[in-house]
Amino acid sequence: MNTPGVARTAAELQDTIARLLAGTGKERPALGLVPTMGALHHGHAALARAARAENDVVVASIFVNPLQFDDPADLARYPRTLEADLALLGEAGVDAVFAPDVEEMYPGGEPLIRVSSGELGTRYEGASRPGHFDGVLTVVSKLLHIAQPPVPAGYRAYFGQKDAQQLVLIRRMVQDLNWPVQVRGVPIVRGADGLAESSRNAFLAPGEREAALALAGTLADLRDRAAAGRPLDLPAARARLAAAEGVQLDYLDVVDPATLAAVPAGPGEPLAANALALVAARVGAVRLIDNMELIPA
């Protein structure tokens, strides 16, 4: 396993990318970018491996983006684990890592111009974290531009399906603003007990992991109902999850996978088309999100 080299500035990263692409000897090599905030887990390794499988050169970024944190305490306690992250990325076949500091990404402080996530950015996760998705889109747009290959080359960027709303918003940004990059969504990685991998799982106190399993359990029940052609009865599913020990439910919704618009999921109506079940809840002090695809019979 090779530990990937680290570029600390945009200029260094651009030189590295140019050199690595030229080194492939291909006329039209492909570059894969894996943006992360570090504190990496198996879910991130899956992103890196997906990028490795489809591209000639793979670059990951590690940057804890202050713009997407509404709570300074949350930003301060976000784990910084660079050495372990580099080892994981090296293992997954990443060629180089971009790890800028805040001054490199936002010289002179907060940017005057930001990308707006529109009305969709105010729903679900955006409802409890105002400005979060504008911060995400702003940093992702910077990263996509900084890593843009200099020669005729394929360009793909990889994001986890666990952050379903983030993925939809990034796809829309790239589509609405005509950026020459393909956005790839990579399936959620789950532990053996079914809990979706997340950097936040490390903050679950003993016993809370068990309580958190109610989220994936509820989603799996909705998935099974959809597959069996039974009505989802979302209000009943919400009530059961809200009553689960140790879980403070924020939302449980069934939505269109492309637009995140709510779809009918009452007690009397089986699902008519593919949908996504989204959940967010607090378990102890930890806010968790998860989602699952629902495919009707």
Give catalytic residues, as residue numbers.
44
Least distance between ligand PAF and beta carbon 177 (Å): 16
Choosing from 92, 97, 139, 183, the residue that interacts with ligand PAF (CB under 6 A) is 139
Q: Tell me if 132 is assigned to a ligand binding site.
A: no
Choosing from 16, 36, 165, 198, the residue that interacts with ligand PAF (CB under 6 A) is 36
Assess 136 for contact with ligand PAF (CB under 6 A). Answer: yes
Assess 134 for contact with ligand PAF (CB under 6 A). Answer: no
Q: Parallel, antiparallel, or unpaired for β 247-255 and 275-283?
A: antiparallel
Q: Tell me if 207 is assigned to a ligand binding site.
A: no
Q: Please list every residue from 41 through 70 that binds ligand PAF, using CB under 6 A.
A: 65, 68
Assess 291 for contact with ligand PAF (CB under 6 A). Answer: no
Assess 140 for contact with ligand PAF (CB under 6 A). Answer: yes
Hey, CA dihedral for 261, 68, 183, 119, is it positive or negative?
positive
Q: Please list every residue from 159 through 178 that binds ligand PAF, using CB under 6 A.
A: 163, 166
Q: Which is nearer to ligand PAF, 234 or 288 (CB)?
A: 288
Assess 4 for contact with ligand PAF (CB under 6 A). Answer: no
Assess 185 for contact with ligand PAF (CB under 6 A). Answer: no
Which range touches ligand PAF (CB under 6 A), out of 33-41, 81-89, 91-99, 218-226? 33-41
191-to-169, 195, 197 alpha-carbon distances in Å: 27, 5, 7
Assess 157 for contact with ligand PAF (CB under 6 A). Answer: no
Closest CA to 172 of 253, 112, 118: 118
Least distance between ligand PAF and beta carbon 253 (Å): 20
Assess 35 for contact with ligand PAF (CB under 6 A). Answer: yes
Q: Which is nearer to ligand PAF, 57 or 167 (CB)?
A: 167
The residues, ordered by sequence, that sit 6+ positions from 79 with a Cβ below 8 Å of its Cβ are 38, 39, 199, 202
Which range touches ligand PAF (CB under 6 A), out of 35-43, 70-78, 144-152, 216-224? 35-43
Least distance between ligand PAF and beta carbon 158 (Å): 10
Residues in the annotated binding site for ATP = 37-44, 160-163, 189, 197-200
Q: Which residues bind ligand PAF (CB under 6 A)?
A: 35-37, 65, 68, 136, 139-140, 163, 166
